[in-house]
Structure 1
């Protein structure tokens, strides 16, 4: 058995010299030192030895095992170093090559327009208020004079999570929550920018879009104040030559209500294809805050009045940059975005 162990050791050492990678090394280890390896097979024959020979052969077997483990470990370290050197050689970097230019990003055109809208209203004394995109039915509809059986709900095809929770269809809930929080403090002068959600999807509508709604509550607020505020906004956003007109409309949360148009920037108001030969382009909805909305937020409509308006940021961007399809704003096509 002594000769058998020595022959096994010499065979393993000779085979080890031929090993070229870690996978072959593992196979060699299993062959000689595994549970069913050759060393194990030799040790199983120790039962046939005399009591005097067993400790001698056992000690020799341990020595052979330790020698093989040390040789395998050393070979493994050499193979790992060689593999690392090959990897470094393959990934070698030529530091003399010219650098690669990285294109710097720019702010998305929608947010460029949103930033500009916010700056304009800040300069008019408005502060920014924000709220959750997941809202209660009460704040999204009922507190805005749109009870559950009101036909005006059909104007907004909403995304409901439960019967009482939905994705907000406008940022008007921020106005209501602000009025409740600040009551009876005056004045309230805010804009509420943010994402809103409705089930619309075509060239001019998106199921997710951005709004900026404005609210002013104080004593003796008139429709003239609303018109002056919106005219100032239009001239600063589109240019001093732009004109506005207000057309009677209907919104449940304002009374009276009006749609606002701006004069066409292509033809100057004379009529062209861009404005369907009317000279005007629809831009936003507005009106004086409905007395019931004031009452539900704790204000006395006999003592205070206010106005509100809602601006679609995508609509402003399309008019400002002459974009005819809303969907390009969400396609993430660099050929389009790099123009801004």
Structure 2
């Protein structure tokens, strides 16, 4: 009975340890402890040769029964632990494939770029092609070629950022007009230019030392103010809608003669007056005119009845009107939250 008591003690010890094991690794450790080469039950098997034959047979049968029971219990517990781990993993990784997919975050154009592209799209409908020029210019293309003489106030330090060697930061996109005309292209010429310009101005809520402009010009025999007004009306309605209210007023630009400005009724108040339009009710969106004879003469286009029309506007101001904001400085900030808010507010 002593041997049988040892077997029962071993069985109870095994069952007690097995009840404490829940992870598969713990159960496998238990298998090594009770069924491995150096386990207690293997030690009992090694004692068998020293026992009497009848006692050896009975004790061996008990050891085999206990070994098989341990093996069965461990295998069952390992399977149960494996199923539990699989169920836990499935629950953690569960995905309803019938649900709509979650689209990744998609970038978008900056509001200034989007307005610029809209404007260029409108001009492409009229046959204008885009041209570009340098932002660091010389005095000839920025002033002299455009009928802006030495004594003109725009050439003073208060308006222009001068650099070394007579270079300067371009103060308007009209420099592209001078460069294109200097190429001596055949008429008709229809060109649009857009980009950054620089003015040495005091920075406040509505003015910056750097902002964006867009300009177009068209040279062809027989063009007149009627063509210019029709073009400007088409552009304004394409950008602001068919119901936009327009008015023209005289202006002065050294590179156009005659010159005019196009006003629209404020899009925020409909012409009643609000903070966005400084309570005037009207907002100037485009400056334009017939290309000055001096400019045509400078580049050899004062012939064959050739005339030209030119027009331009600040896309920075247009963007602020489009978004309904009264300050332009945030448009040039890097706060992504604000830019996203402006986009959502306009959609």
TM-score range, shorter chain: 0.5 to 0.7
1:286 is matched with which residue? Answer: 288
Distance 1:252 1:172, change over 3 A: same
1:308 is matched with which residue? Answer: 310
| Structure 2 runs not aligned, ≥5 long | 1-91, 96-101
1:199 is matched with which residue? Answer: 200
Secondary structure in 2 matching 1:258: strand
2:226 is matched with which residue? Answer: 224
What TM-score does the superposition give when structure 1 sets the normalisation length?
Answer: 0.67
1:187 is matched with which residue? Answer: 188
2:332 is matched with which residue? Answer: 330
Are positions 1:146 and 2:151 aligned together? Answer: no
Per-residue deviation at 1:313? 0.6
2:244 is matched with which residue? Answer: 242
Report the structure number with the largest CA radius of gyration: 2
Deviations 1:213-264 (A, max 9, x none): 1101111111111111111111111111102212111111111111221112
Secondary structure in 1 matching 2:236: helix
- C-alpha root-mean-square deviation of aligned residues, in Å? 2.4
Distance 1:236 1:118, change over 3 A: same
Distance 1:276 1:204, change over 3 A: closer
Are positions 1:160 and 2:156 aligned together? Answer: no
Distance between the aligned counterparts of 1:206 and 1:152, measured in 2? 16
Greater shift, 274-283 or 213-222, is seen at: 274-283
After TM superposition, the structure 1 = structure 2 runs for residues 1-340 of structure 1, keeping only pairs within 5 Å, are 103-154=105-156, 157-183=159-185, 185-200=186-201, 201-300=203-302, 303-339=305-341, 340=343
Distance between the aligned counterparts of 2:119 and 2:315, measured in 1? 8
Distance between the aligned counterparts of 2:279 and 2:173, measured in 1? 33
Distance between the aligned counterparts of 1:157 and 1:163, measured in 2? 18
Greater shift, 312-321 or 196-205, is seen at: 196-205
1:19 is matched with which residue? Answer: none
Distance between the aligned counterparts of 1:260 and 1:301, measured in 2? 29
Secondary structure in 2 matching 1:338: helix
Per-residue deviation at 1:155? 9.8
Per-residue deviation at 1:156? 6.9
Distance 1:215 1:112, change over 3 A: same
Deviations 1:5-53 (A, max 9, x none): xxxxxxxxxxxxxxxxxxxxxxxxxxxxxxxxxxxxxxxxxxxxxxxxx
Distance between the aligned counterparts of 1:258 and 1:290, measured in 2? 13
Q: Give the paired residue count.
A: 245
What TM-score does the superposition give when structure 2 sets the normalisation length?
Answer: 0.66
Distance between the aligned counterparts of 2:158 and 2:121, measured in 1? 29
Distance 1:301 1:271, change over 3 A: farther
